[in-house]
Homo-oligomer: A and B are copies of this chain.
């Protein structure tokens, strides 16, 4: 289901309405850091999508808007199913308090570290989500790859990510006690 062709679909917005609200208020996003867990709870791997867009190829975490009237848990479940398939057996978090929050602004901020998203002002609530099943990435991704902790810590892999998602990765590693 695309936002573009939906004139009036409940929580979905027409492209025109979406453009309008994106210039009026911050937009709530949820970000998902998929992880593989060993039986004892230690992290065995972190998963990322490979996507192509106008700026090139990059590694990304599943991420997307929370819709009008949509609970955060439902938004998480929806984006996980869309990006990781319906066999991923994701363990949705028991608390909706995110482990980290990121802000993206539509114009450059006063600090070099400020994150940018030309389309909108975003407030991203981030969650670490253990995946027990099989991932089948959606059509808008080239592939989904599990990386070892050794791999995700390399500057090379982080250089394939946007600054925001590379920061999110490092924050997730800190939460996991792996940085």
Q: Is B25's CB under 8 angstroms from A68's CB?
A: yes
The contact of A24 among B21, B100, B175, by CB within 8 Å, is: B21
A178 located at the interface, meaning its Cβ lies under 8 Å from any Cβ of chain B in the complex: yes
Q: Is A123's CB under 8 angstroms from B24's CB?
A: no
Per-residue CB contact flags for chain A residues 27-43 toward chain B (1 = under 8 Å, else 0) read 11000000101011111
Q: Is A125's CB under 8 angstroms from B105's CB?
A: no
Interface residues of A in 38-77 (CB under 8 A from B): 39-43, 65-74, 76-77
Q: Collect the chain B residues with CB atoms within 8 Å of residue A109's CB.
A: 71
Number of identical monomers bound together in the oligomeric complex: 4
Q: Is B93's CB under 8 angstroms from A41's CB?
A: yes
The distance from the CB of A127 to the nearest CB of chain B, in whole angstroms, is 9
Closest to A173 in B: B174
- In Å, the complex CA distance between A13 and B67 comes to 20
With A91-B91, A91-B130, A94-B37: A68-B23 Cβ-Cβ less than 8 Å = yes
Q: Collect the chain B residues with CB atoms within 8 Å of residue A173's CB.
A: 174
- Give me the interface of A with B, judged by CB distance under 8 Å: 13, 17, 20-21, 23-28, 35, 37, 39-43, 65-74, 76-77, 91-103, 105-107, 109, 113, 121, 123, 125, 128, 130, 167, 170-171, 173-179
A–B complex contacts, Cβ < 8 Å, 30 sampled = A20-B20, A20-B21, A25-B25, A25-B28, A26-B70, A37-B91, A40-B92, A41-B91, A41-B94, A43-B94, A69-B121, A71-B109, A72-B103, A91-B130, A94-B128, A94-B130, A94-B175, A95-B99, A95-B175, A95-B176, A96-B101, A97-B98, A97-B99, A97-B100, A98-B98, A100-B177, A101-B125, A101-B177, A102-B177, A170-B179
